[in-house]
Amino acid sequence: MKNIPLAALIGLFFTGLYFLAAILAPLLAPYGMAQIVGDVWEPSSSRHWLGTDSIGRDLLSRMIYGGRTTIFIATAATLLSFFTGSVLGLIAAVIGGWVDQLLSRFIDLIMSIPTLIFALVVLSVMPVTIPILILVMGLLDSTRVFRLARAVAVDINVMDFVEAAKLRGEGRIWVIFREILPNALSPLVAEMGLRFIFAVLFVSTLSFLGLGVQPPQADWGGIVKENKDGIVYGIPAALIPAVAIATLAISVNLVADWVLNRTTSLKGGRG
Amino acid sequence: MLPVVKLVAQRIALGVLLLFATSILIFVGTLILPGDVAQAILGQSATPQSLANLREEMGLNDPAWLRYFQWLGGVLQGDLGTSLSNGRDIATQIGARLGNTLFLAFWAAIVAVPLAIFLGLLAVRYRDRWPDKLISGFTLASISLPEFFLGYVLIFFFAVKWRWFPSVATIYDSMSFGQKLDAIVLPAAVLTLVILAHMMRMTRAAILNVMQSAYIETAELKGLTTFDVIRKHAFPNAIAPIVNVVMLNLAYLVVGVVVVEVVFVYPGMGQYLVDHVSKRDVPVVQACGLIFAAVYIGLNMTADIVSILANPRLRHPK
């Protein structure tokens, strides 16, 4: 662990900071999430470090609670997409034949519609709640994980140790989870960072469009939406959550890059 | 030439099939709701009588497959149905907005494509030196930034602080061409920035890929300068992958345009779609979803066809 490059260290530091703030939100936030404590759009002061928002709530508190919501939804969606995507991908690769064809063509079909557009179509008839958001985002994103997992697993599936396990008479479940999954894990973990960023940007975009997390619940995209009218008066409140989204995304990217480089060098340059 | 024609025809047939399947998916996507459209429109407090009336009026009592074919038949004849929220014809409402969206996307593409190719070439020319590092740093920042952030930063500085451009991109028919261009400077700039990074990175990768071929080594050993190697030997071979990159990124514009239109209150398709998703106006959402998907599939198909035409190696699949 000594040779972590500076960029990855910075990334790890900020990623850790954001996650910690998300977990400890109720302890860190100086005011309540929906508590009105001041005037509209107060500038930053010693009482309100980031000023107040469009109806006089403390912006720092909203940012901390908002980060909690955004990070929670993104993490849950990423985990769901990894679970569904990698299980289906591995199954498709190991069983092959018509199961593989059916799954792959279906995934191709879903990916032929832009993710945001498909999410909007589904959300137009679903009640917009947090579990539904996680479900929609996680399932739509699992298509990309599926492709990666399947591609990696198809390679591993023809290796000698897998053949040996099959000849030994191990069942498919054993082959998938004990032989292929451990070997496919490192490229999948590196991909996880990128999917997490995508989920953060996606949920923020949906909330910004008014179709994600609903007020008074705070989340970063929603805070931008609530404060966007201030921009034309020169009040930068809407830019603060956007900066938070950007720094979180860049930090995770830096960590993911480092993990990816590490795993590719371990495998002799094979991505 | 025959195998080429056959391959292109196959790809077009696949595109049409995909579009057909997509229309089913979009239709089914709006069926998986608890309750039904009538319930969603009238809300929880609706009386059973008014629900039954609305269901009858919208034909919701027919089976789903019948409604799908009625809808598809209408779409094929240019009839996209009527909007639930204001009862007007969707096709006429979409017409002008689609034009506005294409106008915006067109100008963004005109600026972004040549710029991205030029910067991609520059990154290859100064590989691993500061211009390359600067460009990859910009790429990292750009894929990490949400589109609305770029939009508001530009509004904050260019429209509010320095007052160079309008903050809201309103457009109407009576405006002159120059006024329209002035109105869309900021949204077009945001879209350009959004696709520029991807396009640059992919162009760089495409050219670097070509640069590793044997004929490039020969050219280098002949003593040509790096720039001549790129211009005479690498670029002609990289055109096919670059055109592919451009098409894929124009497809990406389709999504970017939704958010950017909302940021700048631009009267285009994206704004229209988002408005009607919150109003739960299902026919409009289906129509917009289908148009967006069709443009996306069309651009991806064009990318594949251009690669087939430009790269003889692809004409002989194993």
The answer to whether the CB atoms of B148 and A208 lie below 8 A apart is yes
Chain B interface test: which of A102, A105, A106, A117 (most B C-beta within 10 Å): A117
Burial of B296 (0-12, 13-18, 19+ CB in 10 A): buried
Q: Looking at chain B, which residues constitute the CATH 1.10.3720.10 domain(s)? A: 97-278
Q: Is A231 on the interface with B (CB under 8 A)?
A: yes
The confidence score (pLDDT) of residue B1 equals: 58
Does the pLDDT at position A80 exceed 90? yes
Residue range A204-225, pLDDT digits in tens: 989 888 888 887 788 888 888 8
CB atoms under 10 Å from CB of B195, counted, come to 24
Please state at what angle helix B130-144 crosses helix A239-266, rounded to 10 degrees.
120
Quick check: bond before A216 cis, omega within 30? yes
The confidence score (pLDDT) of residue A59 equals: 79
The arithmetic mean of pLDDT across residues A102-125, rounded, is 86
Residue B140's contacts (CB-CB under 8 Å, 6 or more residues apart) are A250, A253
Does the pLDDT at position A25 exceed 80? no
Q: Which of B34, B40, B149 sits opposite A246 (nearest CB)?
A: B149
The confidence score (pLDDT) of residue A72 equals: 92
Q: Is B152 on the interface with A (CB under 8 A)?
A: yes
Chain A interface test: which of B262, B272, B277 (most A C-beta within 10 Å): B277
Distance in Å, alpha carbon of B311 to nearest chain A alpha carbon: 24
Does the pLDDT at position A123 exceed 80? yes
Rounded CA-CA distance B246/B69 in Å is 35
Residue range A26-69, pLDDT digits in tens: 877 777 777 777 777 777 777 777 777 777 778 788 888 888 88
Q: What angle (nearest 5°) sits at the alpha carbon of residue A179, between those of residues A173 and A181?
A: 80
Q: Is B254 on the interface with A (CB under 8 A)?
A: yes
DSSP B313: G
Distance in Å, alpha carbon of A211 to nearest chain B alpha carbon: 7
Q: Which residues of B touch A120 (CB under 8 A)?
A: 258, 273-274, 277, 285, 289
The answer to whether the CB atoms of B152 and A126 lie below 8 A apart is no
Amino acid sitting at position B241: P
Q: What angle (nearest 5°) sits at the alpha carbon of residue B278, between those of residues B273 and B279?
A: 95
The answer to whether the CB atoms of B152 and A117 lie below 8 A apart is no
DSSP A44: P
Residue range A223-269, pLDDT digits in tens: 888 888 877 777 777 888 888 888 888 888 888 878 777 765 544 43
Nearest chain B residue to A113 by CA: give it: B293
Rounded CA-CA distance B75/B73 in Å is 6
Measure CA of the first residue to CA of the last residue in chain B; give whole Å: 18
Buried b (16+ CB within 10 A) or exposed e, A212-230: bbeeeebbbbbbbbbbbeb
Q: What is the ipTM for the molecules in this complex? A: 0.81
**What distances in angstroms separate CA A69 from CA A21, A65, A99, B67, one per listed residue?**
11, 6, 37, 39
Residue A198's contacts (CB-CB under 8 Å, 6 or more residues apart) are A141
Q: Which residues of A touch B197 (CB under 8 A)?
A: none
Q: Which residues of B touch A113 (CB under 8 A)?
A: 22, 25-26, 289, 292-293, 296
Lookup: tokens for A180: 């292929």
CB-based contact A210:B263 (threshold 8 Å) = no
Q: Which residues of A touch B161 (CB under 8 A)?
A: 234
Rounded CA-CA distance B124/B208 in Å is 7
The confidence score (pLDDT) of residue A81 equals: 93
Does B34 or A5 have the greater pLDDT score? A5
Rounded CA-CA distance A116/B251 in Å is 13
The confidence score (pLDDT) of residue A267 equals: 47
Q: Which of B141, B161, B285 sits opposite A120 (nearest CB)?
A: B285
The confidence score (pLDDT) of residue B47 equals: 76
Rounded CA-CA distance B255/B246 in Å is 15
The answer to whether the CB atoms of B160 and A125 lie below 8 A apart is no
Amino acid sitting at position A208: F
The confidence score (pLDDT) of residue A222 equals: 85
**Residues 9 to 68 of B: which have CB under 8 A from any A CB?**
18, 21-22, 25-26, 29-34, 37, 40
CB-based contact A258:A11 (threshold 8 Å) = yes
**Residues 67 to 106 of A: which have CB under 8 A from any B CB?**
none
CB-based contact A19:A39 (threshold 8 Å) = no
Could you say which architecture CATH assigns to the domain B97-278?
A: Orthogonal Bundle (1.10)
Tell me what the pLDDT averaged over chain A comes to: 83
The confidence score (pLDDT) of residue A134 equals: 92
Nearest chain B residue to A250 by CA: give it: B144
- Record: fold of A6-264: MetI-like fold (1.10.3720)
Buried b (16+ CB within 10 A) or exposed e, A126-149: bebebeebbbbbbbbbbbbbbbbb
Q: Which residues of A touch B289 (CB under 8 A)?
A: 113, 117-118, 120-121
Q: Which residues of A touch B272 (CB under 8 A)?
A: none
B3, B7, B1: which is closest to B304 by C-alpha?
B7
CB-based contact B132:B126 (threshold 8 Å) = yes
Q: Which of B34, B37, B259 sits opposite A205 (nearest CB)?
A: B259
Q: Indicate the domain borders of chain A.
A: 6-264
Q: Please report which residue ranges of chain B form alpha helices under DSSP H.
A: 2-29, 37-42, 48-58, 64-76, 90-125, 130-144, 147-154, 177-183, 185-211, 214-221, 226-228, 235-263, 269-278, 282-310
Residue B104's contacts (CB-CB under 8 Å, 6 or more residues apart) are B169, B184, B187, B188, B191, B257, B260, B261, B266, B268
The arithmetic mean of pLDDT across residues A108-137, rounded, is 86
Phi-psi region of B74 (alpha: psi -120 to 50; beta: other; left: phi over 0): alpha
The answer to whether the CB atoms of B146 and A242 lie below 8 A apart is yes
Distance in Å, alpha carbon of A260 to nearest chain B alpha carbon: 15
The arithmetic mean of pLDDT across residues A72-93, rounded, is 91
Tell me what the pLDDT averaged over chain B comes to: 80
The confidence score (pLDDT) of residue A269 equals: 38
Report residues of chain B scoring pLDDT below 50: 318
Residue range A157-203, pLDDT digits in tens: 888 888 888 888 888 888 888 888 888 887 787 788 888 988 998 99
B204, B238, B226, B230: which is closest to B135 by C-alpha?
B204
Q: Is A194 on the interface with B (CB under 8 A)?
A: no
The confidence score (pLDDT) of residue A2 equals: 59
SS3 state at A43: coil
**Residues 278 to 307 of B: which have CB under 8 A from any A CB?**
278, 280-282, 285-286, 288-289, 292-293, 296-297, 300
Q: Which residues of A touch B276 (CB under 8 A)?
A: 124
Does B316 or A18 have the greater pLDDT score? A18
The confidence score (pLDDT) of residue A78 equals: 93
Q: How many CB pairs under 8 A join A and B?
A: 151
The confidence score (pLDDT) of residue A268 equals: 41
* Statement: the pTM of the whole predicted model exceeds 0.80: yes
CB-based contact A12:A4 (threshold 8 Å) = yes
The confidence score (pLDDT) of residue A138 equals: 92
Lookup: tokens for A53: 């928002």
